[in-house]
Structures are given as C-alpha cells and as structure tokens.
Amino acid sequence: MASNGYRLDSETSGNWLLRLAAPQAFFPVAGKMIPWFIALAVLFALPGLYVSFFVAPTDFQQGEAYRVIFLHVPAAWMSMFLYVIMACWAALGLILNTRLSGMMASAVAPTGAMFTFLALWSGALWGKPTWGTWWVWDARLTSELILLFLYFGFIALTNAIDDPRRADRAGAVLAIVGVVNIPIIYFSVKWWNTLHQGASVSLTRAPSMATTMLVGMLLMALAAWMYSIAAALWRVRSIILERERDAQWVRELRGVE
Amino acid sequence: MNWGGFGNFVHMGGYGFYVWGSYLVAAVCIAGELILLARRARLAERRQ
C-alpha cells in the first residue's frame, strides 16, 4: 500500500479513536450511521415545520414574511458551523497527517456551500418585503457572500490538484486562513452599522422573540445539523472509495459484492 | 395559528412569493444534493 506511507499506525494502536481514523475502518461505521442521522433530520424537520407554519403566531411588524426566519437562521448558522468544522478537520489533517481528516474536510465543504447559498437566497427573499431591497453591500451580507466564495475556493482548489494529499494540504491552508471571516460575520452586526438586525438568540441574554418562534427555529436548526452530518458521512464514503480505489480492502469489497 | 383555508396558507398574508420562494429553493437544493450524493456513491462503488 504505497498510497498511505505516512499514515498513523492505527492498526497496532489500542486507541479505538485512532483505529477509526483509518478510512478502511471508518467506511462501514459511516455507512451504519447515515440512516440514523437521516431519520433524526426528518424527526426534527417535521415538528419544526409544523411549529414554523401552524403554531408560531403572525409577527406584529412583519406579518407572515417573517416565517422565512425558520429557514434563514438555521441555514446561516450551519453555513458558519460547517466552515469551522471543515477548518478543524483540515487543521487536524495538517497537524496529525491523518488521511481521513482531509477527506472529512472535503466532504463537509459542498454542504456548507449549499447552506451558505440558502442563507443568502432566503435573506434576499426576506429583505425585499422588509427592507425594500434584495441586496445591500452591508457588512453582514458581504461577509456571508465572502464565506460562499471561500467554500467555492476550497472546492475548486482541492479539485484542481491531482495528488489528494497535496490537495488536502493546500485546501487546509485556505480553510484555516478563511476562518478569520467567521467572527467577522458573527460580530458584523455589532461592529458596523448594518441594515441587518442583531442576533435574535444569544447565550448571554433572554431571546428577543416568542417562545414558539424560538422552538421552531431550534427544531429546524437541529434538523439541519442532522442532515449535514448524514450528507457529510455519505460523501466521505464516496471519497474514501475514490481515493483508495487500488487498496486491497476496496478490491475485496467489490469482489464480495 | 389558524389559517382558515388552504388558499390563505398559500397566500401567506401577501408574502407567499417570498416565503415559498425560500422554502421551495431549499427543498430543491436538498433534493439535488441527495441525488448527487447517491450518484457519486453509485459511481464510486462501481469504478475500478
């Protein structure tokens, strides 16, 4: 197995976590977890949508237009969470030189990009009736757009380099540098005078919204989390097969099937 | 929340285009990603 000359010697290690870090060991585990996370996503999304559309009351200022919030806020949260997770995997790959880390970073990126697009799209559709404009070059919106370009940059860069290990390292540098944009997005509404409103939910003070609205938003956010995990696990399985195509265990896997 | 009929629900108090425009595109994106994931998995399993 020439392709994994510098991987951690996980076979001899007694540490189950390290053993799981071998793509070969993680492949079947990921496969078993996917249906559970899809089921959890549905389990959170159904009551989440129900609360969003049939329990949460009409907003006294925005009327029904505010119902975009149940999609917009979870999508925006996921866009930032997934970037940080992607950067953590990328950094782990740089530090420990584990093969699976780079694969995980690549597996998270497209889903992160999708949620970033959805946050921008739903934001535009919410902005038009409430602000009177689809788009404004305000700090929050602009930094979120930069996040989308960071995802695109990561995907394009890692796809452009043929050697997957080199692609992982180059992508990791980009992902880690780009992390600086996350606090900029988060604090943009405080640091600058933006059209975008401040945080509706914060860890330090009581939420400034009706409880049912908050419940709907949190259920939808949990659904988005579960969906993201399922999507990343599904994608990483394909990445493992693509990269380890010549490994003995993949050949055996195909032989059995 | 009582909408008083399906028509009112779709109308969304005049904001139907914006609300459903958001959720519909989200549904299309998620369905699209799942289709792409399934296709990639199928190709990866088949390819030698």
List, in order, residues 6 or more apart from A8 with CB less than 8 Å away.
A18, A21, A96, A97, A98
Residue B1 domain-assigned (yes or no): no
Phi, psi of A191 (to 5 degrees): -70, -35
List, in order, residues 6 or more apart from A14 with CB less than 8 Å away.
none
Supply the pLDDT for residue B44. Answer: 92
Residue A109 domain-assigned (yes or no): yes
**How many domains would you assign to chain B?**
1
Supply the pLDDT for residue A230. Answer: 98
Question: How many angstroms separate the CA atoms of A173 and B48, rounded?
Answer: 31
Residue A104 domain-assigned (yes or no): yes
pLDDT at B13 over 80: yes
Predicted TM-score of the model (pTM): 0.91
From first to last of its 257 residues, chain A has per-residue pLDDT tens of 444 444 454 445 557 777 888 899 999 999 999 999 999 999 999 999 999 999 999 988 899 999 999 999 999 999 999 999 999 999 999 999 999 999 999 999 999 999 999 999 999 999 999 999 999 999 999 999 999 999 999 999 999 999 999 999 999 999 999 999 999 999 998 888 878 887 777 666 666 677 889 999 999 999 999 999 999 999 999 999 999 988 888 888 877 65
Residue A149 domain-assigned (yes or no): yes
The chain B residues in contact with chain A (CB within 8 A) are 1, 3, 9, 12-15, 17-19, 21-23, 25-26, 29-30, 33-34, 37, 40-41, 43-45, 47-48
Residue A18 domain-assigned (yes or no): no
Alpha helix stretches (DSSP H) within A51-138: 69-96, 99-131
Residue A217 domain-assigned (yes or no): yes
Domain hosting residue A46, numbered range:
36-256
Residue A214 domain-assigned (yes or no): yes
Residue A28 domain-assigned (yes or no): no
**How many domains would you assign to chain A?**
1
Helix (H, G, I), strand (E, B) or coil at A136: coil
Cβ–Cβ below 8 Å for A58 and B23? no
Domain hosting residue B16, numbered range:
6-46
Supply the pLDDT for residue A256. Answer: 61
CA proximity to A72, closest of A130, A27, A115, A109: A115
Residue B22 domain-assigned (yes or no): yes
CA proximity to A167, closest of A156, A179, A178, A182: A156
Question: How many angstroms separate the CA atoms of A20 and A226, rounded?
Answer: 21
**Whether B41 contacts A237, CB under 8 Å:** yes
